[in-house]
Structure 1
Amino acid sequence: MNYSSELKKIVTSQYVYSAIRITLATVLPCLVLSHFGILKEYFLFPLGTSFVALTDQPGPFIRRRNSLAFAIFCFVFVASIASLVKGIIPLVLVEIIAFGMFFSLIGVYGQRLAAVGSLALVVLAIFVDGHLTGANIVKSLLIFAAGCTWFLLIFLVVTTIQPYKLASQMIGENYLQLAEFLKIKANFYQKNPDFDKLYSQVITKQIEIKNLQEETRETVFKTRTIVNESTTISRLLMLMFLNSMDLHEKLMTSESDYKKLQESFEETGILVKIRDYLNILSDEISNIGIALQSSTRARAIHNIDLEFQELNIQYFELRNRQMTSETLENFMILRQIMMRIHEITREIQEIYKVFSQNVKLAKSLSTGLDLKKFLPNQEKINFKVLKSNISLTSSHFRHAVRVTIALLLGYLFSFMPFLEIGHTYWILITIIAIQKPAYSITKQRNLLRFYGTVTGAVIAYGVLYFIEVNAVLFTILLVSMVLCFTFLKAKYFWAVLFMTIYIFLSFNFLNPGNINIIFKDRIVDTVIAGIIAFGVSYTILPVWEHTQNLDLMKKSAEANLTYFHSVMSKFLNDKYSLEEYKVRRKNAIISLANLSDNFQRMISDPKNQQKKLEVVHQFVTTSHLITAYTASLSQYAKKDQVYTEIDAESWTKKIESEMNQVSVLLNGGKISEALKMESRIEPEDSSLEDLILKRKKEIMENEFYDRRDPDKISRLTELKNIHDVLELIYDVAKEQRKVIEKYRNEETTLPQS
């Protein structure tokens, strides 16, 4: 592992950048207030700052600004109501029900407002018992509102000074994810690969890439300064993002029949050399991502021309030694892989050229695409959307009910005299942090929260016990805050661990000498909240992942069908639209990622709720292969060549009949005889077979030529690979149809989503 590169990835990421901004925005007022000896009196100021800061999600400037303003209004309103009704138990219960339902339900409008809703409930938890507001409620609320507004001002200043920073960091993170994706793909070429494990890793990484691409697409396409400005940097960033999408497809086209490849070439050593070269390309992609995150120019760290040349020499020498009429077709597969690797190499070299800040390249950017079609779907902010989700059939409504009941139980538990709970809000905050719409995520967060809290509490206790120098304690507090906010999105255990440390240190500065009480309360409250959250998630209107399988499988099957048809339209000489193709490619990848994500969550559900787990797993795997093989086929559709030797019409009918059968079965229909007949069509690729026989005869008669042009590939090899990919797609589609037949046969009624 290159530790220097890994450190650069973290240090230059948007998460560290955001964490430092939040920490400074929170700590600087604390230092000023502490200097004047009024930190305790004005503690609500930095508290408000940190709450608003945590709602700032990546995205377009306007959306971020509006959500921050909305968060300030919600937080101050909630704090005001909570302060006014404190101590009046019936009103507090009504308050918890009203706010619990509303702020959980606004998650229907997307992750941004879901974050605002969660933090609004945290504000409710903080103010519910009134211990922070004191006697002068108006003064306390004004201080809290000022702290909230303080972060909005910082946000406006920072985004004005660095308008492109977030977009650049997010695009950079896309490249880093693609680099990791390529490293996984490289492992298919190692000796004795674990195919099941690698396919699982590929699917997991696809989910991460899809989620990140959705966030980045919105940030880049919806930020007018990025899309419409004619400045070099805005155009270059757009070009870099579009190139990352094309690079992702090229990485997907490297899908092959790896088992057959290993059987044919495992002993030759060429596959290990391919793996080593792909790892070099992965390092280059990672280097580009780091440079984008840090807003510096990227320079190649390897001479990839020389490295690729050496790989080609090794390939051609192996070809000269071992290619015979019997091994011809195997070498055709390997030659195609070499060409795909060459295309990835050229793509990376082109990206480096763009990164050279070539103004001509930037000004020539004209996608010809309607960028609105590539934006993620967003719920419109209107009351009808909210109203339509007030139903037990809505997963959002069910989640809101669970959150509200859990908060009520947590609040009532705090009155139990035998528990001796000193901080009601810690139970409520922990419930809010753990309780998620999916049971699997709630279960996972429950464990991570407990482990992180206990570990962090032990470390903090040790720090406070052995260290008495305030300067050292303050430095640890700052570092803990930065690390907490850095890991909050991706590494929840570490985020909770460092959060616990900085909370302990913060309370120690405010009220020294109470470490034992804080330690006990923190552990006890976390355990109580965890039990409540887990119990409510399991028993109160749970939404199990298997109930969503059918709908997601339908969408994936339909998206794969339209994606395949879009690619085959070029072979059929139909009207071929690049924009339509890219939209369908995006939809296929998103549908596949959503299905895969749902399956992975289902694995964490209780055993009795893992319905048809093996069948769904097979469907996910076959869907992934269809998407990947279609991407492989798409590279030929982009060429200005006609492949008359391929019976494209018959192949299209044959494959689409299998895909249509899958859709029919998923929708509860009966397969027609016409579809079954089309599936039995035998494509007439006889001319291709004749060409292969002719080539084998030439080799047997020693008419073998050592052609060493890595930029060219014989037409016969292209035809053979098109034929092989079409066969692979058909075989996988047929296997998927059998999987769904098994799915239908095992139950009389499919689960409804």
Structure 2
Amino acid sequence: MNYSAELKKFVTSQYVYSSIRITLATVLPCLVLAHFGILKEYFLFPLGTSFVALTDQPGPFIRRRNSLILAIFCFILVALIASLVKGIFLLVLLEIIAFGMFFSLIGVYGQRLAAVGSLSLVVLAIFIDGHLTGANIFKSLLIFAGGCIWFLLIFLIVTTIQPYKLASQMIGENYLQLAEFLKIKANFYQKNPDFDRLNIQVIAKQVEIKNLQEETRETVFKTRVIVNESTTLSRLLMLMFLNSLDLHEKLMTSESDYKKLQKSFEDTSILVNIHDYLNILSEEITNIGISLQSSTRARPVYNLEAQSQDLNSHYFELRNKIMTPDNLEDFMILRQIMMRINEITKEINEIYKVFSQNVKLAKSLSTGLDLKKFLPSQEKINFKVLKSNISFTSSHFRHAIRITIALLLGYLVSRLPFLVIGHAYWILITIVAILKPAYSITKQRNLLRFYGTVVGAVVAYIILYFININAILFSILLISMILCFSLLKGRYFWAVLFMTMYVFLSFNFLNPGKINIIFKDRIIDTFIAGIIAFIVSYIVLPVWEHTQNLSLMRKSAESNLTYFHSVMSKFLNEDFDLEEYKVKRKNAIISLANLSDNFQRMISDPKNQRKKLEVVHQFVATSHLITAYTASLSQYSQNDEKYPEIDSENWTKKIEAEMNQVSALLNNEKITENLKMDSRLEPEDSSVEDLLIKRKNELLENESYDRRDPNKISHLTQLKNIHDVLELIYDVAKEQRKVIEKYKNEELTLPQS
């Protein structure tokens, strides 16, 4: 592992950058207040700052600004009502029900408002018993409101000074994810690869890439200064993101029959050489990502031209040495892989040219694309959307009921006199943090939250026991805050660990000498909240992942069919619309990632809810292969060369017949005889076979082989690979149809839940 690159990836990421901003925005007022000796009295100021800061999700400036303003309004309203009704038991219960349902339901409008809703419930927990407001409620609320507005001002200042920073960091993260994807793909070429494990890693990484691409699309395409401004930087960033999407497709085209490849070349070193070279390309993509995140100019790490020449030379030497008519087809497959690798190399070199700040190139950038078609769908904020989700069929409504019941139970438990809980609001805060719409995520977060809290509490206890120097404790507090906010999205255990540490240190500064009480309360409250969250998530209107399988499988099958037809339209001499092709490519990748993500969550569901798990796994695997093989085929549809030797019409009918059968089965429709007949068509590609026989005869007659140009590939090799890819797509589509037939048969034998 390249530890230097890993450190740079972390330090330059949007998460660290954001966490430093949040930490400074929170701590600087604390230092000023502490200097005047009024920190304890004005503690709600930094608390309000940190709450509003946590609602700031990546995205376009206008949406971020509006969500911050909405968060401030919601926080002040919740704090006001909670402070006014504190101590009135029935009103508090009604308050929990009303706020619990409303702020959970606004998640229907997307992650941004879901974050506002969750933090509003945290504010409710803080103010519910008047623990922090004191006697003068309105003064406390003004202090809290001041802290909320303070972060909004910081946000406006920072985004004005650095309008492109977030977009640059997010695009950089796209490249870092692609580098990790390429590393996984490289491992297929190492000695004795574990194919099952690598396939699982590829699918998981596709989910991460899809989620990140969706977030980045919204940020880049909806940010006016990025899309419409004619500045060099805005155009370059747009070009860099579009290039990352094309690079993703090129990486997907490297899908091959790896088992056959390993068997054919197991006695040579060519596959290991490919593995090493792909890792070099991965390092270059990582370098580009880090440079984008840090807003510096990227320079190549390696001499890719020399490295590429070495790899191609090794291939041609091997070809000249051992190629025979018997293994000609194996070398054709390997030749195609070499060409794909050369294409990836060219793409990386082109990206480096963009990084040279070529103004002429930037000004000439014109995508010609309707960017609205590429944006993620998002619910419009109107009452009809909210009203339509007030139904037991809505997963959002069911989650709102679960979290409301959990908060009620948490509050009632905190009121039990024999427990004597000193910081009851921690129970409610922990419930909000743990309880998520999906049972699998709740289960995972429950364990991570408990482990992180225990370890963090023990570490903080040891630190406070042995260290009495305030400057050192304050430094640890700052580092803990930065690491907590940096790791909150991807490393939940570590985020909770550092969160617990800075909470302990903060309370120690406010009330020195009470570490034992804080330690006990924090552990007990987390344990109680974890039990409540687990019971409620399991019993109260749970939404199991298997209930989503059928709709996601339908969507994936439909998207793969339209993606395949879009690619084949060029072979069929139909109008090939590049924009429509890219939209369909995006939809296929998103549908596949959603299906894969759902399957991964289903693995964490209780055993009795993992219905037809193996069948769904097989469908996910075949969907991934169809998408990847279609991406491989797409490289031939994007050039001007014709392939009349391929019986494109019958291949299209044959493959689409299998795909349509899959869709028919998933939609409970009858499979027509026409579909069955079309799937048995025999495409007339005899001319390809004739050319192949002719080439084999040439090899028998002539034992010397010319060194071919590594940047060119013979027409016969292209034909052979197109034919092979079409066969692979058909075989996988046929296998998927059998998987669905099995799925439907099992569905008939299992009771409906």
- Give the aligned CA root-mean-square deviation in angstroms: 0.9
Q: Are residues 290 and 743 of structure 1, via their aligned partners in 2, closer, same or farther at CA, if it must alter by over 3 Å?
A: same
1:250 maps to what in 2?
250
1:364 maps to what in 2?
364
2: CA distance, partners of 1:662 / 1:517: 61
2: CA distance, partners of 1:752 / 1:41: 58
Maintained 8 Å contact 1:235/1:363: yes
- 1:132-181, Cα deviation, whole Å (9 max, x unpaired): 11111110000000000000000000000000000000000000000000
Report the secondary structure of 1:202's partner residue.
helix
1:62 maps to what in 2?
62
Tell me the matched-pair count: 753
Q: Are residues 751 and 635 of structure 1, via their aligned partners in 2, closer, same or farther at CA, if it must alter by over 3 Å?
A: farther
1:151 maps to what in 2?
151
Shift >4 Å, 4+ stretches: 749-753
Q: Give yes or no for the alignment of 1:660 onto 2:660.
A: yes
2: CA distance, partners of 1:746 / 1:105: 35
1: CA distance, partners of 2:747 / 2:710: 53
Maintained 8 Å contact 1:744/1:750: no
2:538 maps to what in 1?
538
Report the secondary structure of 1:386's partner residue.
helix
1:230 maps to what in 2?
230
Q: Give yes or no for the alignment of 1:637 onto 2:637.
A: yes
1:741 maps to what in 2?
741
2: CA distance, partners of 1:751 / 1:672: 28
Task: Kindly state the Cα deviation for residue 751 of structure 1 after the two structures are TM-superposed.
Answer: 9.1
Q: Amino acid of the residue matched to residue 320 of structure 2?
A: N
Task: Kindly state the Cα deviation for residue 93 of structure 1 after the two structures are TM-superposed.
Answer: 0.1
- 1:465-519, Cα deviation, whole Å (9 max, x unpaired): 0000000000000000000000001100000000000000000000000000000
2: CA distance, partners of 1:625 / 1:503: 48
Task: Kindly state the Cα deviation for residue 706 of structure 1 after the two structures are TM-superposed.
Answer: 1.6
1:712 maps to what in 2?
712
1: CA distance, partners of 2:731 / 2:129: 64
1:404 maps to what in 2?
404
2:106 maps to what in 1?
106
Report the secondary structure of 2:267's partner residue.
helix
Q: Are residues 392 and 20 of structure 1, via their aligned partners in 2, closer, same or farther at CA, if it must alter by over 3 Å?
A: same
1:160 maps to what in 2?
160
Maintained 8 Å contact 1:547/1:752: no
1: CA distance, partners of 2:729 / 2:364: 37
2: CA distance, partners of 1:507 / 1:444: 28
Task: Kindly state the Cα deviation for residue 339 of structure 1 after the two structures are TM-superposed.
Answer: 0.1
Maintained 8 Å contact 1:550/1:751: no
Q: Give yes or no for the alignment of 1:648 onto 2:648.
A: yes
2: CA distance, partners of 1:672 / 1:163: 56
1:429 maps to what in 2?
429
Maintained 8 Å contact 1:647/1:683: yes
Report the secondary structure of 2:28's partner residue.
helix
Q: Are residues 580 and 649 of structure 1, via their aligned partners in 2, closer, same or farther at CA, if it must alter by over 3 Å?
A: same
Report the secondary structure of 1:576's partner residue.
coil
1: CA distance, partners of 2:592 / 2:749: 24
Q: Give yes or no for the alignment of 1:453 onto 2:456.
A: no
2: CA distance, partners of 1:69 / 1:704: 74
Report the secondary structure of 1:746's partner residue.
helix
Q: Give yes or no for the alignment of 1:327 onto 2:335.
A: no
Q: Amino acid of the residue matched to residue 622 of structure 1?
A: T
2: CA distance, partners of 1:136 / 1:356: 60
Q: Give yes or no for the alignment of 1:123 onto 2:128.
A: no
TM-score w.r.t. length of structure 2: 0.99
Q: Give the unaligned 5+ runs of structure 1.
A: none
Task: Kindly state the Cα deviation for residue 423 of structure 1 after the two structures are TM-superposed.
Answer: 1.1
Q: Are residues 651 and 752 of structure 1, via their aligned partners in 2, closer, same or farther at CA, if it must alter by over 3 Å?
A: farther
Q: Give the unaligned 5+ runs of structure 2.
A: none
2: CA distance, partners of 1:721 / 1:65: 51
2: CA distance, partners of 1:223 / 1:235: 12
Report the secondary structure of 1:266's partner residue.
coil
1:6 maps to what in 2?
6
1: CA distance, partners of 2:367 / 2:749: 47
Q: Are residues 751 and 622 of structure 1, via their aligned partners in 2, closer, same or farther at CA, if it must alter by over 3 Å?
A: farther
1: CA distance, partners of 2:747 / 2:179: 42
- 1:239-279, Cα deviation, whole Å (9 max, x unpaired): 00000000000000000000000010121010000000000
Report the secondary structure of 1:59's partner residue.
coil
Structure-to-structure mapping, 1:491-570, within 5 angstroms: 491-570=491-570
2: CA distance, partners of 1:639 / 1:721: 15
Q: Amino acid of the residue matched to residue 38 of structure 1?
A: I
Q: Are residues 575 and 750 of structure 1, via their aligned partners in 2, closer, same or farther at CA, if it must alter by over 3 Å?
A: farther
Q: Are residues 96 and 119 of structure 1, via their aligned partners in 2, closer, same or farther at CA, if it must alter by over 3 Å?
A: same
2: CA distance, partners of 1:678 / 1:419: 72
Report the secondary structure of 2:747's partner residue.
coil
2:701 maps to what in 1?
701
2: CA distance, partners of 1:641 / 1:469: 74
1:175 maps to what in 2?
175
2:688 maps to what in 1?
688
Q: Amino acid of the residue matched to residue 88 of structure 1?
A: I
Task: Kindly state the Cα deviation for residue 286 of structure 1 after the two structures are TM-superposed.
Answer: 0.2
Maintained 8 Å contact 1:662/1:736: yes
2:588 maps to what in 1?
588
2:302 maps to what in 1?
302
- 1:360-382, Cα deviation, whole Å (9 max, x unpaired): 11011011100000000010000
Task: Kindly state the Cα deviation for residue 2 of structure 1 after the two structures are TM-superposed.
Answer: 1.0
Task: Kindly state the Cα deviation for residue 534 of structure 1 after the two structures are TM-superposed.
Answer: 0.2
1:381 maps to what in 2?
381
Maintained 8 Å contact 1:548/1:752: no
Q: Amino acid of the residue matched to residue 682 of structure 1?
A: E
Q: Amino acid of the residue matched to residue 2 of structure 1?
A: N
2:413 maps to what in 1?
413
1: CA distance, partners of 2:422 / 2:338: 66
1: CA distance, partners of 2:747 / 2:472: 64
2: CA distance, partners of 1:360 / 1:705: 44
1: CA distance, partners of 2:272 / 2:640: 34
Maintained 8 Å contact 1:547/1:751: no
Task: Kindly state the Cα deviation for residue 704 of structure 1 after the two structures are TM-superposed.
Answer: 4.4
2: CA distance, partners of 1:350 / 1:624: 28
Q: Amino acid of the residue matched to residue 111 of structure 2?
A: Q
2:83 maps to what in 1?
83
Report the secondary structure of 1:418's partner residue.
coil
Task: Kindly state the Cα deviation for residue 746 of structure 1 after the two structures are TM-superposed.
Answer: 1.3
Report the secondary structure of 1:268's partner residue.
coil
Q: Amino acid of the residue matched to residue 136 of structure 1?
A: N
2: CA distance, partners of 1:550 / 1:200: 21
2: CA distance, partners of 1:650 / 1:449: 56
Task: Kindly state the Cα deviation for residue 7 of structure 1 after the two structures are TM-superposed.
Answer: 0.5
Report the secondary structure of 1:417's partner residue.
coil
Report the secondary structure of 1:82's partner residue.
helix
Q: Give yes or no for the alignment of 1:140 onto 2:152.
A: no
1: CA distance, partners of 2:172 / 2:42: 40
* Aligned sequence identity (%): 83
Maintained 8 Å contact 1:545/1:602: yes
- 1:586-612, Cα deviation, whole Å (9 max, x unpaired): 000000000000000000000000000
Task: Kindly state the Cα deviation for residue 417 of structure 1 after the two structures are TM-superposed.
Answer: 2.1
Q: Amino acid of the residue matched to residue 496 of structure 1?
A: V
Q: Are residues 750 and 65 of structure 1, via their aligned partners in 2, closer, same or farther at CA, if it must alter by over 3 Å?
A: farther
1: CA distance, partners of 2:527 / 2:262: 51
2: CA distance, partners of 1:131 / 1:693: 85
1: CA distance, partners of 2:77 / 2:435: 23
- 1:190-228, Cα deviation, whole Å (9 max, x unpaired): 000000000000000000000000000000000000000
2: CA distance, partners of 1:191 / 1:57: 43
Task: Kindly state the Cα deviation for residue 745 of structure 1 after the two structures are TM-superposed.
Answer: 1.0
